[in-house]
A = this chain, B = another copy of it.
Amino acid sequence: MSVGLNPDHPCGRCAYYSESVWSSVKLGSVSALQRGFSRIALSEGQALFSQGDRNRGIFCVSEGLVALRTLHAEGTSTLIRLAYPGEVVGFRSFLSAREHRTEARALLPSRICLVGRRDADHLVQGDTDVLMKLASRCVSEIDQNHDRIIAAATKSNKQRLSDLLLRLMKVHGTRAEGQIRMRLPLSRLDLADLIGVQPETVSRLINRLRKDGAFFFSGRHVSAPLAMLVELQNAAE
């Protein structure tokens, strides 16, 4: 399989082509892929699909950031996953042929590629490689869930918030004047969901991190001193 540009393939110009679920679609089936292919532009806050929606196919984030949430009866919600460019969304309801159990919403202006359900079904049925790559995405989602469960059982809330901020810094941060800065793509409530506490607690954790000299907050703008860079490397995991 050739890594890099491939003008005949819908994903051929995508930066994440080589790891794409569709990268191994054989030449003979590329037409089916093209038939089911469409691109979706989302503005910040716009929904890609809602909980209870019928599955429309397999989505792949091309640009931006998408949040997967589940809504509860009481009106609350829980942020389950952040999907960055190159990540696949909607494979759960696709594989189990049922309605979406989460809502997907853009946290930043985003571009999404969709392969419609009918054609995606044919491609998956006809090519073990494609299905195998989908399964690998499932496995890495399980891995991430396990990490989250382990972190919840192992680390303090403050540590988990710090880890989360470091990971976000790594993706969204820019370096300047001996500091890293970013605009948080998440609200305090989303932060609270991700580490499993109430939003008031997030405020207090932020105060403690500020006192520790680890992070400085001003609304959604966060900065960290260079000393944090060291831990930033370790936060790879």
Task: List residues of chain A with CB under 8 Å of any chain B CB.
Answer: 70, 72, 76, 78, 80, 92, 95-96, 101, 124-126, 128, 131-132, 134-136, 138-143, 145-146, 148-150, 152-154, 193, 196
Contact = CB atoms under 8 A, between A and B. Distances in A.
Contacts of A76: 154
What 8 A-B pairs are tightest by C-beta distance, nearest first? Answer: A145-B145, A138-B138, A153-B196, A135-B135, A96-B139, A78-B150, A95-B135, A78-B153
22 contacts: A72-B154, A78-B154, A80-B149, A92-B139, A95-B132, A95-B135, A95-B139, A96-B136, A96-B139, A96-B140, A126-B128, A128-B128, A134-B135, A135-B138, A138-B142, A142-B145, A145-B145, A145-B146, A145-B149, A149-B152, A149-B196, A153-B193
Interface of A is mostly: helix
Contacts of A140: 96
A92 B142 contact: yes
A76 B76 CA distance: 34
